[in-house]
Structure 1
């Protein structure tokens, strides 16, 4: 109910302002604009950082977008606009890196786009998935190197850990290093 209530109101506000088409990056900024300081999307919005969600339709937010289009059939989700945004970043980048938490579509999307610039220069994976089942989530960096999605000379590592237990330690170490 909360996501439905909020998303419908956010989308309706944009629609009433003449917005008939949005990318997932624009939707994330719209959501971030309305959230508090304890939200990742709020800080992305505040710092004009684009957040692209390639699998947005697979979940509560996507369901709300679909429901909104049932009332406003001229409203469109523009996934090609996200591709334009990503290609702009990729083709202009001197270096490219990714900190990938988990796997699935987000990991694949990041790796896929970076193959167009001869691969990531930096790659750090945190995953609980194992390589033996053949899933992308469990694939190690060497698999991405074999496809040209990570460069041969990339600084890279895979950490097999449960992210909610390890991420606070990584964050604390980064903050400590930045302060020194």
Structure 2
């Protein structure tokens, strides 16, 4: 069994299966002529070729919604991509993602974020939005403490001080376990949208 955060993942859903699927996917892309892809392109291809309807990547790809993973090289997918590149002329170009994010931020009339946890994904989201006067809407969900000075525990007011969240933004910090809070949030949203 494997542990990813507070989620236990059986061996048949992690490890060898990721190696097999990623190596097959990368080999197919390479044979199709791909020598350099962005992280979002790789996520899209994973969604289209390796996932079923229970996958977020599947639905994002099917609906042409880009998925950006700034730390994609920090884990099994990144390792498999690196391993493939050792004997293939293949590169993962994360700067292409940065260009796409820049375009999204600078063309958006408004921006909002649901930030689950902290770390690189949280910072990447708020970082890019400081260049357009900050996020207009933001929900933080985290169990991280504020007192240690970590980014993960930083409250929205800290990002306001940097201009990463607009002073006028609608913002909230929900302290709690995302694996409990997100299902409640989604259920409530679906209920409210169904009544609208």
Tell me the TM-score normalised to structure 2 length: 0.90
Q: Which runs of 5+ in 2 are unaligned?
A: 1-15
Does 2:194 match 1:179?
yes
Partner residue in 1 for 2:117: 102
1-structure distance, mates of 2:184, 2:19: 34
The alignment yields a C-alpha RMSD, in angstroms, of 0.5
Does 2:167 match 1:152?
yes
- After TM superposition, where is structure 1 displaced by more than 4 Å over at least 4 residues in a row? none
| Residue aligned with 1:132, SS | coil
2-structure distance, mates of 1:56, 1:179: 35
| Residue aligned with 2:68, SS | coil
| Residue aligned with 2:65, SS | coil
Partner residue in 2 for 1:12: 27
TM superposition shift of 1:71: 1.3
| Residue aligned with 2:173, SS | strand
Partner residue in 1 for 2:54: 38
2-structure distance, mates of 1:80, 1:168: 33
Does 2:81 match 1:65?
yes
2-structure distance, mates of 1:150, 1:167: 22
Q: Which runs of 5+ in 1 are unaligned?
A: none
